[in-house]
Amino acid sequence: MLGLKAFEPNRDIASPNRNIAPISSEISESKKLLVGGCQLSELAKKYGTPLYVVDELTLRTACKTYMNSLKKHYPGDSLPLFASKANSSLAICALIASEGFGLDAVSEGELLTALKGGVKGKNIVFHGNNKSYAELDFAYKNNVTIVLDNNHDIQLLKKIASDKKPAKLMLRFTPGIECHTHEYIRTGHLDSKFGFDPDEVKSVLEQLKKYKWANLTGLHAHIGSQIFEVQPHIDLAGVMADTFRLAKEIGHPIADLNIGGGLGIKYVASDDPPSIDKWIEVISRAVVKACEEKNLDLPRLMCEPGRSLVANSGITIYKIGAKKIVPGIRTYFSVDGGMSDNPRPITYQSLYSACLVDKPLDSNFEKVTIAGKHCESGDVLLNDFFLPSCESGDFLAVFGTGAYNYSMSSNYNRIPRPATVMVGEGCVELIQKRELPEDLLQLDVLPDRFIAKN
């Protein structure tokens, strides 16, 4: 249940991932919810609903906190990378680039968006467990660092890279650590589709050393997502330092250590993730200690925040429509969006917080279920959720939707994707246009034989 506490002034301004609402959230004199100085119900009326809203202050604050924390806690060079799978758009790529961030991408589409958004190729790393020839060729030609995930990558790059222009590479391996938010396990071999198995690493490093086209400059590992614990990253630093030393001994010019991302955020009141600064502090100390113990020069430290960078800057506004009462069981309110603009509840049973944008402080709560409009019984955004008394036409804001909502959206039931606006200091800018029903037909092809003859 989201109530007054979400808007109290003692929220963690320096670490947006620890707040449910964007840090610019405030209540107007007329007791309506504002974000970035903009009244949400007015945005909904002007731009339509569902509507994604991104708070520029929250996003820039998260970027600055990562940058400043790395400078504060890590004595060597560093480069944070935005995990763009969380939310890829020209405007967001341009914003994170302006804050000094690099970016990680997993497709040609994400690469193109990043490059067009102003991220330099030298500050981009390209992931993926089944990269195509075309994708690898595009990354190589744009001076992007390619993360080797398997031998398939190596075989394709043999045909692409030139000895005169070596490909800049990182090697991804499974570190034997897997984290699931509040608990983690360590094993020798993890059942993962990503990265080389630990037993393969030495032979792959030796193989790459034979290729003049291969310039291996870094190592990569990732242990999970929505992580609230810090101990797994301490263990990860030790494992990566061992591999770092091995690569050096084989003769690779390793300089970068990429520990992935995964820091969690606060979706509901019971969530208690570490702050960005604490996460960076723990990782930095662990890497420094591991390098000292193994007599290694400090690498350039890289990390890949996605959710913790953008999620809490985003909200989604819906308009409430139909109401259905199932006597003795529940009351349904349906909204004009759902699983096509936020597939996480039906896919992962994800929990969110929400409020009525023009009644954010009302306390006459009733238990309701907020259902989406799609033709699926499981299309439910908020189950048995407490909201003030609401009615058809009210606007509902769902918080923490800046990550994996637009990027995982679909046209299920041929429903167009929402628009996205960015707000700040009372100004609003459209950064993604709303799809229209006719847009959904642009790639359809109707064979002549199906066209009715007059």
What is 57-310's CATH number? 3.20.20.10
Question: Over the chain, what is the mean pLDDT?
Answer: 94
Q: Which residue has the tokens 């799809």?
A: 435
What is 4-55+313-439's CATH number? 2.40.37.10
Note the pLDDT of residue 288: 97
Are 323 and 368 within 8 A, CB to CB? no
Are 40 and 395 within 8 A, CB to CB? yes
Q: How confident is the model at residue 2 (pLDDT cuts 50, 70, 90)?
A: very low
Note the pLDDT of residue 1: 39
In sequence order, the 6+-apart residues with CB closer than 8 A to the CB of 405 are 52, 87, 314, 316, 341, 342, 344
Q: Which residue has the tokens 């999620």?
A: 311
Look at residue 449 and tell me whether its pLDDT is greater than 50: yes
Which has the minimum average pLDDT: 45-54, 105-114, 168-177, 213-222?
A: 168-177
Nearest one of 132, 155, 154, 136 to 144, comparing CA atoms:
136
- Residues 172-198: tens digit of each pLDDT: 998 877 776 556 555 545 778 888 998
Longest dimension (CA), the chain: 83
Nearest one of 420, 418, 448 to 54, comparing CA atoms:
420
- Residues 251-291: tens digit of each pLDDT: 999 999 999 999 999 999 999 999 999 999 999 999 999 99
- Return the active site residues: 375
Please tell me the total number of residues recorded for the chain in this structure.
Answer: 454
Which two tokens mark 215?
Answer: 């310039």
Note the pLDDT of residue 452: 76
Supply φ then ψ for residue 328, to 5 degrees.
Answer: 75, 0
Residues above pLDDT 70, as percent of the chain: 95
- Domains of the chain, by residue range, sit at 4-55+313-439, 57-310
Cα 241 to Cα 208, 237, 248, 258, 301: the distances in Å are 19, 6, 10, 11, 12
- Residues 13-52: tens digit of each pLDDT: 899 999 999 999 999 999 999 999 999 999 999 999 999 9
Residues above pLDDT 90, as percent of the chain: 86
Local structure of 260: helix, strand or coil? coil
H/E segment holding residue 445: none
